[in-house]
Amino acid sequence: MTTRDQVHVRSVRDEPASGDGHRVLVDRVWPRGVSKEDAALDDWLKEVGPSTELRQWFGHDPEKFDEFARRYEKELAGNEDWQTLQDLVAEHGRVTLLFGASDKENNQAVVLRDLLTR
């Protein structure tokens, strides 16, 4: 199994699936309208989420996504939760990164997956 097969990305609003493996919320802020029970999390790594400043600058504008990904990767340097996430992937084999944004293509979970699987 390649790392690409190990790391998945889903909305926290999606129904949990048996193939999700270890479910990790990677948002700094708890997603509105989602109960902790419905989220069915194994971990919430708040600090791995992008900073408030970066999130506000990005504003989920697809035109800014590539620059967002570059800035976000820089933010992760030395981040303890980023190391914890890498350890979780190594430990659990299959990890699903959960996000609260409505844009399923341009969000921090996609960036994290790409960093974890490259």
- Averaged over successive runs of 10 residues, the pLDDT of the chain (118 residues) comes to 78 94 96 92 97 96 97 96 96 95 95 95
Q: Round to whole Å and give the CA distance between 24 and 12.
A: 9
Q: Round to whole Å and give the CA distance between 35 and 48.
A: 21
Tell me the pTM.
0.93
Q: Round to whole Å and give the CA distance between 95 and 19.
A: 9
Q: Round to whole Å and give the CA distance between 61 and 100.
A: 15
Structure tokens at 66: 């590539």
pLDDT (0 to 100) of residue 5: 78
pLDDT (0 to 100) of residue 2: 57
Close Cβ partners of 60 (under 8 Å, ≥ 6 residues apart) = 101, 102, 103, 106, 107
User: Strands 95-99, 22-25: parallel, antiparallel or unpaired by DSSP?
Assistant: parallel
pLDDT (0 to 100) of residue 27: 96
